[in-house]
Amino acid sequence: MKRFRSLKDIEKERYRLYLEKELAGYKLEYFFRNTRKNFSAENFLENSVGNWFGRTIGRFIRKKTNP
């Protein structure tokens, strides 16, 4: 465990952790706000089918090259 030299160091560390938590909260809020705003079923289906197809082709190629 990290040892602190003074009360001031403890306060600095506590404030740094508080800022990290706030930043993570803002990032998460921004992500969900954009997801809701930019969501379309058509894009979702395209991406899902595209990802599935890519994974399937990748597996097929790996099986062919590594019997």
| pLDDT tens per residue across span 3-45 | 768 888 889 989 999 999 998 888 888 887 777 777 776 777 7
- List the domain boundaries for the chain: 7-65
Would you say how long the chain is, in residues?
67
pLDDT at 52: 80
pLDDT at 20: 92
Give per-residue burial for 37-54: e unless 16+ CB within 10 Å, then b.
eeeeeeeeeeeeeeeeee
pTM of the model: 0.45
CA 36, chain centre distance (Å): 16
